[in-house]
Structure 1
């Protein structure tokens, strides 16, 4: 709804009321129409101010209305009516003006923003385009290049940048509503002929056709199969080349195509999934989200390698005091220099103070006695981590939360080394830790709801999307990654090349395929883990297995053999690809790899065959998805939304595919089941290809939509 009042004698004020972000629901739109009629019909009102309650202007459309029949006044005529009003209309932008909220502001004659406000047209991130005139008005206001960049990326801008671009007329440090009222009084009698953006000519970029061809090429390359950014370019092109009314028709046509697309449904699934992961109960029935988190003001990070440095920066940026601990003076000084540089660069980008004073560097473990929370971030070595947790248990004050940044080790073993195992949880960050949005919060059977709630809240404070997961080898993300990587290796054995596998996955939408990503991460990292598990070729117990078999199941030693040659990826200039120099970034096919694979196949009497992209996708993706179903069976993840959020935010799963579990539903669960059965018949020594019980149960239940899987999961658990 909207509230109407008259202030300062002659200013009609319309306040949007729809917490938390004053979304443009049917009731709000109706309220705007009614209150505008009231203001324009009041002879005492000379100008109008539109604002939002609780310090937020408007977060855009009410996305919940997308799944049903839209009711209430349509947004486009409402904005046109406002723009054509005979009295000046001023938008008072506090907090946010996003999507339809910014389009509403663009329909006003003037825009006043608070200095901390953020503005943007993020519809592309929902698989849509700004279809309430945003794609037509913004280019007319700030020019095609700037508008195109904002619309195709969905990027938010600060008030300062909005002023520089020309989106807003004034920025104030004071209350934006008060400033807008004063502004409205000043312009009450001003002519509005030059204030209606829809009447502006759109400045055409030089060599318009060539400009848009280049823009389309770049957007297609970055979109990796997403259709919404492409439609955004087409809409902005209409603004530059057609009269406003025809441009609006084109915007409407493009939106109609996107609105019902599978990609829009996928991206909206991601939107709601990110909110769903905040509600989760533990297997013992306790709810962490109703438990009160403990306050964390001071934290310690132990181990200042790549991950530890990023975690230190993330904590400092969140306003915490941090003790950064390393074992040697040399390592400590190197870490201090690196962390200071990261803080400085990030602060410059965000236009905030670097927070150097937040971090204290030390080699003294006794300082842990004064902190509220410790995050251990040494490399993946269980004996070393156990030793650290034993020390922490004797040094820390009662109630200190002990966290480990492990990517897959058993946190129960670490908890068993402490006096208070209920205070131990995993906090699995993703590199770079100060940038990546995902945080897996791992709880064990003895972790308390308070400990989980505290870790989840700290993740939120750091700007992360935190997902609570159960304790098992690899947790959710890395557990699912294992069969995906295995299939990629098996495909090489059977005749594929790294370029074929990566090409199929990148065409699907991943930023990097399996082998390019392995080169970037470092092949030696996974090799070290396989050696610790006695899986690597040189470490397998004598007589236990052949080179291509472990514990009765198929195993590919290709990665081990590559590492034995000193090919660790980008860091050495050689991995699955060749790099022109160590730490180079451009992956080039290496003839040596082709020879290496041919020799390997000959040695093991393997006959190479041709395979296509479809087989690569089905083998890699369906094995990953199948493990996701097993994770749901085991209760390691609360629901399919949790898995999808983890994969989209942490593993580069393309957002326009909705996450692996949503994608399985889009493909058709029966199809996934049929293909897994087919591949398992061909490869009976690969247990990961055997379809999970949950997948079979879902298909037998009629393949319900993803949001109804929990009903089937609950029944399955009750039968176990």
Structure 2
């Protein structure tokens, strides 16, 4: 797992060999230990180059070993031994040096990186901290502020940024191994006597260290929203700044031990593995998309260049896929062209690269799509409009062109029926902004061919997304589940809570935004349009009454009433909150809202009552969870992992809580069932609070662990 060879110049080349990313498994650690010892003891060897096979240095620790008994050499002593060698050791970094891979490189005396390499310490995303000296060596190398940024966010940096920060000594566009070997040969005798060892270096600190660290901790706590790992990272870096190396390592070790055993680490590692396993989904007939070969996609088109469409165009350009942007209005087309160009220029500046030419074209004529392999429709969420677009595409495009819709709620089968090729119609539901958000729901219609779904799933991966295949129903998985969550928030406000109280409880749980702030950001008219489509509000529908059933269930017209008064959220300067101007971002409680709610309650015979934090949290979250169980019952998602990935990546569910289904398992399914029964008894007109059959069945089966749920789901899943 670590190959030893001699190369000219009396240099030992140690190559990590553990595909696909040369993770530091027990065998790799043993191999490094043995080969470094061999190089040190060989009098003919003047220096060492450490690299990874197949153009990848090292992706870090082998996460599959987490939770088991550690075998082989431990990482810290192995890394310390590399740093202590009297012969110069150079890390030749290609591909990536992440987590333990970067910690390994930091123990080397010098680091040479290829220009396309990525470096970082992403352990915080697993609920951990860099536990092999990363929190102690990196601050000593690049200073406390820069190290804190990288360690608490887990972000990856390019080779160019790594050079600027001082993480690497040199970058090259050529042969990294040759440059590293030449670097070793160039180390003078005097330099060999004083090889740079980070464990013995002082830590560069800002002038007022205590004040700086206090501010940093406050900022990290706000951003972390209850996550433990970022806070522990600050504590570890503080130790690097204030204690000798050996004592700092002791602090790092103690913090790591606490995090390693935490529920949050288990939740975040569950998220990590779930993102790599989701999306396996078969049709009712048993055909599987993942056993089908995807169709080739050499070029694409996007119809509708609003915010979402522009983001999708940018995603294609970033992936190097030629794309045509279509907008029927010439003025809107020019606005969109400038917006897309601006986003791509920002990307190019950030990466220090040239703006890609010829990848994006714009047109107002659908006939320009005659030769594209795939089209994504991203027009307004209006069934009649979308069906018209699909009918036109069916006539204009080649018979084998894949037709995709970015619909977030509408029936995919109706859209497919508007074409001559329903088997080549799938949903590709991006999340806004599409060039930023990692989630892609791929919707499988009743007539979608497995190869068409395979194509959309593979394309999502090319675009840098986590693709999850889901079934076809109103709202699919994410938006179907968000409706009862938002309804409960509205009901709580009807009953006596305030929008800011509900949001505060949800944000303290870990959401970046509560229900009402999120609604204002998205625009209240978005949901209003969907409710009109469902016939819940609009012309011909009597004004809503909170205690009256509408289509068999309680309905709150609060948001509709706000929309009717032109309060659409941030875009109009007022919605649930007040903003200093249209387009403003700072949400402030609106005194107007108090009077509005008092008048509303009075007109509907409601008496406001105190609503406590527990009720807000349980009614909102458990209504969401309950709908998740129903999604699984109906076969709309393949398993709880799919639901959780969708909510963590698409809806702001805090990763350190694993996802709604993981959270239900962590709380205890009997406790969730008990509270749902309690609230449904109190609110029998809210079907969303009636416990699902799957939840009841899981509790009756003794509440098996979440990875066993699929065995129960298989026995009750209905046909789509």
The 3 A distance-change label for structure 1 pair 672 and 186 is same
Please tell me whether residue 14 in structure 1 is matched to residue 25 in structure 2: no
TM-score (norm 1): 0.98
Aligned to 1:644: 644
- Return the alpha-carbon distance in structure 2 between the equivalents of residues 387 and 547 of structure 1: 39
How far did residue 627 of structure 1 move? 0.5
SS for the counterpart of 1:355 is coil
1:300 maps to what in 2?
301
Q: C-alpha displacement at 1:203, in angstroms?
A: 2.3
Question: Which residue number corresponds to residue 90 of structure 1?
Answer: 90
Indicate the residue corresponding to 1:382 in structure 2.
Answer: 383
Distance of 1:282 and 1:704 partners within structure 2: 26
Task: Decide whether the 8 Å contact of 2:544 with 2:557 is kept in 1.
Answer: no
Residue equivalent to 2:414: 413
**Is the 2:139–2:240 contact (alpha carbons within 8 Å) kept by the matching residues of 1?**
yes
What is residue 329 of structure 1 aligned with on the other side? Answer: 330
Equivalent position of 2:349 in the other structure: 348
664-673 or 230-239: which moved more?
A: 664-673
Greater mean deviation of Cα atoms: 301-310 or 249-258: 301-310
The aligned residue for residue 218 of structure 2 is: 217
Partner residue, 1:38 = 38
Q: Deviation at 1:410?
A: 0.4
Inter-partner Cα distance in structure 1 for 2:390 and 2:505: 43
Aligned residue for 2:317? 316
8 Å CA contact 2:544–2:555 kept in 1: the answer is: no
Question: In structure 2, what is the equivalent of residue 463 of structure 1?
Answer: 464
Q: Give the conservation status (yes or no) of the 8 Å contact 1:116–1:158.
A: yes
The answer (yes or no) to whether the contact 2:369–2:397 under 8 Å persists in 1 is yes
Q: CA deviation at 1:539?
A: 3.1
Q: State how far apart, in whole Å, the 1-side matches of 2:452 and 2:280 are.
A: 16
Question: Cα distance, 1:252 vs. partner?
Answer: 0.4
Q: Which residue of 1 aligns with 2:108?
A: 108
Match of 1:594 in 2: 594
1:678-689 alignment, distance < 5 Å:
678-689=678-689
- For residue 544 of structure 1, report the CA deviation from its aligned partner: 10
The answer to whether structure 1 residue 68 and structure 2 residue 64 are counterparts is no
Equivalence for 1:526: 527
Mapped partners of 1:458, 1:439: distance in 2: 10
CA distance in 1, matches of 2:718, 2:428: 30
Per-residue CA deviation, residues 262-281 of structure 1 (Å, 9 max, x unaligned), is 11111111100110015443
2:370 aligned with 1:369, yes or no?
Answer: yes
Q: Distance in 2 between matches of 1:525 and 1:57?
A: 46
C-alpha distance in 2, partners of 1:363/1:484? 40
| Cα distance, 1:502 vs structure 2 | 0.2
Give the distance between the partners of 1:128 and 1:413, measured in 2 at CA: 46
Please, which runs of 5 or more residues in structure 2 have no aligned partner? Answer: none
**How much is the aligned-residue C-alpha RMSD, in angstroms?**
1.6
Cα 1:140–1:340 shift into 2, 3 Å: same
Q: CA deviation at 1:192?
A: 4.5
Query: 1:494 offset after TM fit, Å?
Result: 0.7
Alignment of 1:668 with 2:662, yes or no, is no
* Alignment partners' CA distance in 2, 1:149 and 1:509: 21
Per the alignment, residue 244 of structure 1 pairs with: 245
Give the Cα–Cα distance (whole angstroms) in 1 for the partners of residues 330 and 112 of structure 2. 52
SS of alignment partner, residue 67 of structure 1? coil
Size of the aligned set, in residue pairs, is 719
**Contact 1:60/1:97 (8 A) holds in 2:** yes
2:509 maps to 1:508: yes
Query: 1:370 aligns to what SS in structure 2?
Result: coil
Aligned twin of 1:609:
609
Distance 2:573 2:545 in 1: 33
- Asked if the contact 2:135/2:252 (under 8 Å) is kept, the reply is yes
Distance in 2 between residues matched to 1:626 and 1:306, nearest whole Å: 32
* Structure 1 match to 2:628: 628
Pairwise CA distance, 1:360: 1.7
The structural deviation recorded for 1:552 is 2.4
Aligned partners of 2:595 and 2:545: how far apart in 1?
26
Alpha-carbon deviation of 1:9?
4.9
Indicate conservation of the 8 Å contact 2:99/2:121, yes or no.
yes
1:426: how far off? 0.4
Q: In structure 2, what is the equivalent of residue 451 of structure 1?
A: 452
Contact 1:302-1:308 at 8 Å conserved across structures: yes
Q: Is the 8 A contact 1:127 1:258 kept in 2?
A: yes
Measured in 2, the distance between the counterparts of 1:708 and 1:399 equals: 40
CA change 1:235–1:409 in 2 (3 A) is: same
3-state DSSP class of the match of 1:375? Answer: strand
1:146 aligned to 2:146? yes
Aligned position for 2:700: 700
- Residue deviations 1:328-358 (CA, integer Å, cap 9, x gap): 2222222222222222222222333333522
Quote the residue 2:713 is aligned against: 713
The 1:281–1:14 alpha-carbon spacing in structure 2 relative to 1, beyond 3 Å, is farther
Change (3 A) 1:475 1:41: same
CA contact (8 A) 2:546 2:557 kept: no
**Partner of 1:177 in structure 2?**
177
Note if contact 2:49-2:92 (Cα within 8 Å) is conserved in structure 1: yes
Deviation at residue 609 of structure 1 after TM alignment: 1.1
Mapping for residues 562-573 of structure 1, pairs under 5 Å: 562-573=562-573
Cα distance in 1, alignment partners of residues 33 and 65 from structure 2: 19
Equivalent residue for 1:162?
A: 162
Alpha-carbon distance change, 640 to 123 in structure 1, aligned in 2, over 3 angstroms:
same
CA contact (8 A) 2:499 2:576 kept: yes
CA drift at 1:628: 0.6
Q: Report how far residue 127 of structure 1 moved.
A: 0.6
Three-state SS of the structure 2 residue aligned to 1:539 is coil
Quickly say closer, same or farther: Cα 1:287–1:534, change in 2 above 3 A.
Answer: closer
Cα distance in 2 between the residues matched to 1:683 and 1:380: 32
Q: Determine if contact 1:46/1:188 at 8 Å carries over to the other structure.
A: no
Could you tell me how far 1:326 is from its partner in structure 2?
A: 1.5
C-alpha distance after superposition, 1:99-119 (max 9, x if no partner): 000000111111111111111
Q: 1:41-56 residue pairs with structure 2 within 5 A?
A: 41-56=41-56
